[in-house]
Amino acid sequence: MASANELMVLRLNKVFINTGRTFEGRSVPHSPNRLNSLHWSKRYKWAEAWKTEVWAQCRIARVKMGQGKAKVGITLYTIKPQDKDNSVGSIKGILDGLKGIAIKDDAPDCIDLDVRTIKVNKKDEERVEITL
């Protein structure tokens, strides 16, 4: 467990959903443009999968909620970089997973959020890192 002044980095694992016939996995969340084209039940499954993965990694790392405004950095390492708007829109499930564990709420007065996208060359290099 990190002390109050140390930064903690959580690396999220690939998440999977059951589509009924098969399992689908992703290392980074869908962009909002792609999410909007999915059926509502599939969007819900993806959001819940990311929320559950964040919750699990927070528990493993023994993350505790701090006092005051939380500083959170989320870095998406992906072969298809997103612009700032899409990056922020794609992390809703991740932020929902942090609520009540690492952050009080995702409202602007409770969180100082920094979202970045970094291009990687290979699919197996894709990942999400959260800095708290």
pLDDT digits (tens, 9 = 90+) for 69-120: 999 999 999 999 888 889 999 999 999 999 999 999 989 899 999 999 999 9
For 92, the enclosing helix (H) or strand (E) is helix 92-98
pTM value?
A: 0.89
Question: Which residue ranges make up each domain of the chain?
Answer: 9-131
Strands (E), the chain: 9-12, 15-18, 23-26, 70-78, 111-119, 127-131
For residue 10, which of 61, 46, 48, 49 has the smallest C-alpha distance?
Answer: 61
Task: Extract the tokens encoding 33.
Answer: 């443009």
Task: Work out the pLDDT band at 4, boundaries 50, 70, 90.
Answer: low
